[in-house]
Amino acid sequence: MSEGMIQYNIAGIADYTHALSQFSAEFDHIGSMARNTVAGLAEYFETQMGSGAYTDIQNQINSGLDECQAVLARHSSAVDVSASSFQNQDHSAASAFGGC
């Protein structure tokens, strides 16, 4: 291949996008552990001010994890779309030469 060509490994890309989904599942687990830890500290949030702080903590945990998962989903989608485009372009080029 010439130096300017883009090379890609479709199996490697599939492994990478699968790993991203596993990272997303790991964030679910981390969120569950964080929420359980905060729930175990309920007696520290029994005051009027504390109950609002408790809700804020839960919301911040959920918001942070949602943002992490959204970034992973966007990244996975971008990689998938790029891989599909590479494959489609290769098939088009092969068709132009009568290879498909």
Q: How far, in whole angstroms, is CA 12 from its chain's centroid? A: 17
Counted domains in the chain: 1
Six token digits for residue 42: 């309920």
Six token digits for residue 99: 């290879």
Q: Does 69 map to a domain?
A: yes
**Does 90 have pLDDT greater than 70?**
yes
Q: Does 83 map to a domain?
A: no
Q: Does 60 map to a domain?
A: yes
Q: Does 10 map to a domain?
A: no
The whole-angstrom separation of Cα 100 and Cα 96 is 8
Query: What is the Cα Rg of the chain in Å?
Result: 23
pLDDT at 30: 93
Q: Does 62 map to a domain?
A: yes
Q: Does 9 map to a domain?
A: no
pLDDT at 2: 55
Q: Does 14 map to a domain?
A: no
Print the domain residue range for 67. Answer: 24-78
**pLDDT tens, position by position, 1-41:** 456 667 778 888 889 888 988 898 898 899 999 999 988 88
**pLDDT tens, position by position, 35-76:** 999 888 878 788 877 778 888 988 999 999 999 999 999 998
DSSP state of 37: H
pLDDT at 37: 92
Three-class SS of residue 41? Answer: coil
